[in-house]
Amino acid sequence: MDSIPKEVMQAWLAERRSWLRARSIDGEHEDWHSLLEGLSAEDRQEFHALFSRRMHEFLDECAGECLLKRAELRQIVVEALLHFRGCRYELGGFVVMPNHVHVLMQCLGEHWMKAQVTAWKKYSARCLHEALGRKGHFWLGETYDHIVRSREQFEHYQRYIRENPAKAKLGVDEATVWMP
């Protein structure tokens, strides 16, 4: 997806790799996110300030084609997210923005977040490409996930999801917010 200019994304990734390397974390490692938990609270806070928040700011600028502004394309993503609700996962809410998605979920049973997110991306990309008559990548390969550890954090993320379209200055029909 072209939601962030290529040169901005490359510079951001290089800066993040350098920051992680300075803390003995290989940013290319498959499970590097879990290694962040071993850092000090100050380092984790700095990481999220430098990288997570900035990524969300880049996304909220709604650069690129923003194909998900189209209601019929957003609906494909909405249906994918709702499909196995109550079976594989529970949803605490989601927002489908013009160029990205935020989902608050809890996996059930033996289902794992990474596998479920991969399934959503793969299925929705196939359906979106079919609708658009295109091929190739649709979603960024990486996810920006966070473990919710308290009721306060859960409520924070629900608020973030609800408020994300207004924060990005979108009209009411340019994003889809779903709350249970």
30-74 tens-digit pLDDT: 777 778 888 998 998 898 888 877 877 777 777 778 899 999 999
Residues of the chain where predicted confidence (pLDDT) is lower than 50? 1
Position 1 in a domain: no
Q: Minimal CA–CA distance to 100: which of 8, 174, 171?
A: 174
Strands of the chain, DSSP E: 89-96, 101-107, 176-178
The secondary structure element, H or E, covering residue 157 is helix 151-167
- Whether 127 and 158 map to the same domain: the answer is yes
Please report the pLDDT score of residue 61 as a whole number: 76
- Whether 11 and 43 map to the same domain: the answer is yes
Is residue 92 classed as helix, strand or coil in its secondary structure?
strand
Task: Look at the chain and report how many structural domains it folds into.
Answer: 2
pTM to 2 decimals? 0.77
Position 73 in a domain: yes
Task: Look up the domain containing 12 and give its range.
Answer: 6-60
